[in-house]
A and B are shown apart, each in its own frame.
Chain A
Amino acid sequence: MAFGVVLAAAIPLMYVIISSLGLDLAAWQGLWNNRLPGLFWNTLSLAVLVAAGCFVLGVSAAWWISRREFPGRRLATWLMVMPLTIPTYVFAHIYTVLMEDTGWLGQLWVALFGSAPPELFNIAGITFILTLAGFSYVFLLVQDALSRSQQDLEEAARIQGATPGQVFWRINLPLLRPAIAAGLAVVVLHVLSDFGAVSMLRYQTFTLSIYLQMNGRFDFNAAAGLSMVLVALSLTFLVLERFFRNRQRYYGSGRARRILPRRATRFETAMIWLWLGLIALFSVFLPVTWMMIWSWDAWLDNLIDAKFWGYVRNSMTVSIAAASITIVAALPVALYHARQRSLISQSFLYASSIGFVLPGPVIALGILAFVLANVPLIYGGLLVLVLAMVVRFLPLAIHAQESAAQQLTPSIEQAARSLGAGPWESLRRVTLPMIRGGIVSAWVLVFIDTLKELPATLLLRPTGFDTLPVRIWIEASEEMLELAAPAALMLVVGTLPILWFLMRPERSR
């Protein structure tokens, strides 16, 4: 079963490999000499800068929130997670408008500095945008790890005379390394596969270059060649990340005390809120206020009509279907790898990561070519779009479920079997309930990412089937802000209750 899922996930990769075979040696050399050095530099430097930005914002926010008790702590947690609901292209669009010399920030800049506001169409601008859109992943994972960490090691270090700073650098940071690595991995993969923001800000990464190659010149072979390089790059990165993570194991004793957050002094509270407020101002308040103002205009103009609610329904249908199918498809792969650590299970895991390392437009093309050639009957329906989403976000679900399944002790399942339960029954009554948390967060993650997905949806949506991101894209490129804003606001509003699920296990702890 795991094999079947992996096979389906590998369809786009097959397509890429076959298409890149069409490139002859001279064409490869041309790519190698002319395009690749620049693309490598652009893509890698962006990934490093965004990772650094997300590290600073994510770790600092997680540290304060989990180590200090201050008024509004729960609100702060929410504010740090909310940027997940805003797609990168919405961030990019809003900030280009705000930073124009007639925009809010642009006017403020001119008033303060007297010079023209800076442009976002460069690496600094795109780093700013992608950091705002991505630091929440680091925050979530680090905060989770921090809230589980135990007090004895830190106390031991303090008794030995270490300063708080030394404790942080020599005890906390190494212990947090797996969580930070996992968070940064998600961030980097999002950077590598981002299409919306880089195309709005015209910053040439691999993904954008592949898209332009396909659409500007109708050159599939060169696009496939570039995709192969990108896949190799991302896989190298994934293997490295796993390698560093696997070497880090720390087992705490079950009886150790969890750290309770210390009550913050007044000064600390002020500093914390100043810092978190600054982050939230740029990542939540400004964008959401902007959306609300323009949405209000749209409301007054009666632009929010039955059609608009149709887009909302379409988005929901695709996201719910994709999330539900993905968690079912991910289960065999995740369980297989958690139970049996072998070369095969490891390679299954990497093979199913394809969805995350191939750019969305390429996945869409691979699925399209496969469906048209083999199962043309389902073409034109929603199923094709949902299938692409499943392939694209399968790694997210596998990742979440696998980490939950790893905490399962095999003896519990063995006990179920020895008490006479069949494999299905033990799966249904023992395994699934025990990894429910992992399944729920897998569902939420896939749902959120599908809701925001743009490039594959643009190509694969059935005729006349517009989702919220598609409408945002069309209206924003025509500068019809009052039409783009309500759609963006709906994305935020629609994701909030779902996010609540993700945050819930944390409360009950």
Chain B
Amino acid sequence: MRIRFLSLLLAVSLGGSGVAAASELIIFSGRSDRFVKPVVEAFSQQTGIKVVLHSGSSTALLNKLKLEGERASADIYISNDAGNLQKGTDLALFKPAKQAVAERIPANYRAEDNSWLGLSARARVLVVNTGQHETDFVQSVFDLADPRLAGKLGITHSSNESYIAGVTVYMLKAGNDKTRAWLAGMKQNVDGKVFNKHSKIVKAVAAGKKSIGLVNHYYIYRYLDKHPDAPVAIRIPDQGKEGMGVAWNVAGAAISRYTKQEEAAERFMDFVTSAKGQALFASANREYPTRPGVPAAPEIPAVGSFKVADVPMADLGKYRDQTLDLIESVGMP
């Protein structure tokens, strides 16, 4: 019995299959597998560097990186949210990218010390049902608190990272009080019924069950791709001279501070900021490449054709806890 137990222990500690070998580049990714895989495969093909993709939730992986400290098992960290990336910078988990590589990305879309780089951007927009006109008055996200929209508004639950990032932008541009009142108004309008996925908001608006929703731009085009005749359209809020512009968020990557594969990690950053890597990273999800001059998917509104709120992406991390406090104080579902 004991001998069997010991041999089992030995077998276990030797490790099963699928455990990464030392020479591979290990990527912790909080971005959907299916969007990261094409990028990683192209990188491996071009450089011959093998990659192990370890997917999970952005925050949990960041937590793991923090706990591991010097024994960090990841070389690269990818997240869908600038807030998480900046959090990693604040916790000193990353090491800066090379200046020449970082400068391919506008300063607004990366950390001040280049310890993370934004790679693809998404806009927080409205989706409207084209057959209904009672929402025509909505030109700003703040109009979503209007009581006329009671029962007609679709939003996600408040622990969604895109939602939190959006609220941070509005809080920084319009102030705490206005944002709190806005959240409270939306809370009334949805009456406790929130969606667990953005995709379901678009679906509900297309079916006419809701008239308007607050989503990331690509969800609309993902739906239109499958249902070209669906009565949904994008409406870009807060435009015009007085408007604050749409809220913007980026997905990005960072090099782990304690990586033992520095060269390979730097080559990865070089690849994802190259024209080819940029197109791959963004187009998989119809997002905007952050590197100027790289074209986005043709069906989405052209970059530059609308106004973007001038909040540095790093602020999404710096003010996140404050945003969470605000959301909790309203008691958003």
Which residues from chain A sit less than 8 Å from chain B, CB to CB? 96, 119, 121, 202, 212, 214-218, 310, 313-314, 317-318, 321, 324-325, 328, 365, 368-369, 372, 376, 378-383, 386, 428, 432, 458-459, 462-466, 474, 478-480
Is A314 a contact of B16 with CB atoms below 8 Å? yes
Contact with B67, one of A217, A369, A381, A463 (Cβ below 8 angstroms): A369
Closest-by-CB residue of A relative to B55 is A474
Is B34 a contact of A459 with CB atoms below 8 Å? no
The verdict on A462 contacting B19 (CB below 8 Å), with A218-B66, A321-B12, A479-B197 known, is yes
Contact with A464, one of B12, B52, B64, B193 (Cβ below 8 angstroms): B52
Is A386 a contact of B12 with CB atoms below 8 Å? yes
| B324 CB within 8 Å of chain A | yes
Is A463 a contact of B55 with CB atoms below 8 Å? no
Is B16 a contact of A368 with CB atoms below 8 Å? no
| B157 CB within 8 Å of chain A | yes
Is A321 a contact of B59 with CB atoms below 8 Å? no
The verdict on A382 contacting B19 (CB below 8 Å), with A215-B57, A216-B159, A218-B66 known, is yes
| B9 CB within 8 Å of chain A | yes
In angstroms, Cα B63 to Cα A365, docked, is 10
Give chain A nearest CB distance to B320 CB in angstroms: 9
Is A365 a contact of B67 with CB atoms below 8 Å? yes
Give chain B nearest CB distance to A224 CB in angstroms: 14
Given contacts A317-B16, A365-B67, A465-B19, 16 further A-B contacts (CB under 8 A): A202-B157, A215-B57, A310-B17, A313-B17, A314-B18, A317-B12, A324-B8, A368-B67, A372-B68, A432-B1, A458-B60, A462-B15, A463-B19, A463-B52, A464-B20, A479-B197
The verdict on A325 contacting B73 (CB below 8 Å), with A372-B68, A463-B52 known, is no
The verdict on A465 contacting B18 (CB below 8 Å), with A218-B87, A376-B71 known, is yes
In angstroms, Cα B159 to Cα A126, docked, is 19
Is A464 a contact of B18 with CB atoms below 8 Å? yes
Give chain B nearest CB distance to A476 CB in angstroms: 11
Is B91 a contact of A218 with CB atoms below 8 Å? yes
Question: Which A residues touch B11, using CB under 8 A?
Answer: 321
Give chain B nearest CB distance to A257 CB in angstroms: 39
Mask for B294-322, Cβ within 8 A of A = 1, else 0? 00000000000000000000000000010
26 intermolecular pairs with C-beta atoms under 8 Å apart:
A121-B196, A212-B159, A215-B57, A216-B159, A217-B324, A218-B66, A218-B91, A318-B16, A325-B8, A325-B9, A328-B1, A328-B5, A372-B68, A381-B13, A381-B15, A381-B19, A382-B13, A382-B16, A383-B13, A428-B1, A459-B60, A463-B20, A463-B26, A464-B53, A465-B16, A465-B18
Is B13 a contact of A464 with CB atoms below 8 Å? no
Is A378 a contact of B13 with CB atoms below 8 Å? yes
In angstroms, Cα B194 to Cα A202, docked, is 11
In angstroms, Cα B83 to Cα A219, docked, is 16
| B56 CB within 8 Å of chain A | yes
Is A202 a contact of B321 with CB atoms below 8 Å? no
List B34-80 residues whose CB lies under 8 Å from chain A.
34, 52-57, 59-60, 62-64, 66-69, 71, 73-74
Q: Is the interface of A mostly helix, strand, loop or mixed?
A: helix
Closest-by-CB residue of A relative to B200 is A100
Give chain A nearest CB distance to B160 CB in angstroms: 10
Question: Which A residues touch B87, using CB under 8 A?
Answer: 218
Closest-by-CB residue of A relative to B33 is A474
In angstroms, Cα B219 to Cα A479, docked, is 13
The CB with the most chain B CB atoms within 10 A, among A216, A324, A376, is that of A216
List B279-300 residues whose CB lies under 8 Å from chain A.
none
Is A215 a contact of B59 with CB atoms below 8 Å? yes
Is A382 a contact of B15 with CB atoms below 8 Å? yes
In angstroms, Cα B57 to Cα A480, docked, is 16
Question: Which B residues touch A314, using CB under 8 A?
Answer: 16-18
In angstroms, Cα B196 to Cα A480, docked, is 15
Question: Which A residues touch B62, using CB under 8 A?
Answer: 218
Is A202 a contact of B60 with CB atoms below 8 Å? no
Question: Which A residues touch B199, using CB under 8 A?
Answer: 479
| B132 CB within 8 Å of chain A | no
Closest-by-CB residue of A relative to B59 is A215
Give the interface residue-count category, chain B: 35 or more
Give chain B nearest CB distance to A207 CB in angstroms: 15
Question: Which A residues touch B16, using CB under 8 A?
Answer: 313-314, 317-318, 382, 465
| B23 CB within 8 Å of chain A | no
Is A478 a contact of B34 with CB atoms below 8 Å? yes
Give chain A nearest CB distance to B58 CB in angstroms: 9
Is A324 a contact of B5 with CB atoms below 8 Å? yes
In angstroms, Cα B18 to Cα A314, docked, is 8
Question: Which B residues touch A459, using CB under 8 A?
Answer: 60, 63-64
Is B73 a contact of A463 with CB atoms below 8 Å? yes
In angstroms, Cα B12 to Cα A465, docked, is 14
In angstroms, Cα B74 to Cα A369, docked, is 17
Is B159 a contact of A480 with CB atoms below 8 Å? no
Closest-by-CB residue of A relative to B68 is A372
Contact with A215, one of B18, B60, B91, B157 (Cβ below 8 angstroms): B60
Question: Which B residues touch A96, using CB under 8 A?
Answer: 196
Is B197 a contact of A466 with CB atoms below 8 Å? no
The CB with the most chain B CB atoms within 10 A, among A202, A214, A463, is that of A463
Is A463 a contact of B74 with CB atoms below 8 Å? yes
Give chain A nearest CB distance to B50 CB in angstroms: 11
The CB with the most chain A CB atoms within 10 A, among B18, B53, B69, B199, is that of B18
In angstroms, Cα B34 to Cα A458, docked, is 19
In angstroms, Cα B20 to Cα A96, docked, is 35
Give chain A nearest CB distance to B256 CB in angstroms: 12
In angstroms, Cα B327 to Cα A212, docked, is 14
Question: Which A residues touch B74, using CB under 8 A?
Answer: 463
Contact with B56, one of A119, A386, A458 (Cβ below 8 angstroms): A458
In angstroms, Cα B74 to Cα A380, docked, is 11
Question: Which B residues touch A480, using CB under 8 A?
Answer: 34
Is A216 a contact of B324 with CB atoms below 8 Å? yes
The CB with the most chain B CB atoms within 10 A, among A214, A217, A432, is that of A217
In angstroms, Cα B197 to Cα A121, docked, is 13
Give chain B nearest CB distance to A311 CB in angstroms: 8
Question: Which A residues touch B53, using CB under 8 A?
Answer: 464
Closest-by-CB residue of A relative to B192 is A122
Is A217 a contact of B18 with CB atoms below 8 Å? no
Is B26 a contact of A464 with CB atoms below 8 Å? yes
Give chain B nearest CB distance to A294 CB in angstroms: 17
Question: Which B residues touch A432, using CB under 8 A?
Answer: 1
In angstroms, Cα B266 to Cα A173, docked, is 69
The verdict on A462 contacting B20 (CB below 8 Å), with A214-B63, A382-B12 known, is yes
Closest-by-CB residue of A relative to B193 is A119
Is B63 a contact of A215 with CB atoms below 8 Å? yes
Contact with B5, one of A325, A365, A368 (Cβ below 8 angstroms): A325
Give chain A nearest CB distance to B82 CB in angstroms: 16
Give chain A nearest CB distance to B97 CB in angstroms: 22
In angstroms, Cα B63 to Cα A378, docked, is 20
Give chain B nearest CB distance to A68 CB in angstroms: 42
Question: Which A residues touch B57, using CB under 8 A?
Answer: 215, 458
Closest-by-CB residue of A relative to B51 is A464
The verdict on A310 contacting B18 (CB below 8 Å), with A121-B196, A463-B73, A464-B54 known, is yes
Is A372 a contact of B73 with CB atoms below 8 Å? no
Give chain B nearest CB distance to A483 CB in angstroms: 9
Mask for B178-214, Cβ within 8 A of A = 1, else 0? 0000000000000001001101000000000000000
Is A321 a contact of B196 with CB atoms below 8 Å? no
In angstroms, Cα B32 to Cα A321, docked, is 31
The CB with the most chain A CB atoms within 10 A, among B19, B68, B71, B193, is that of B19
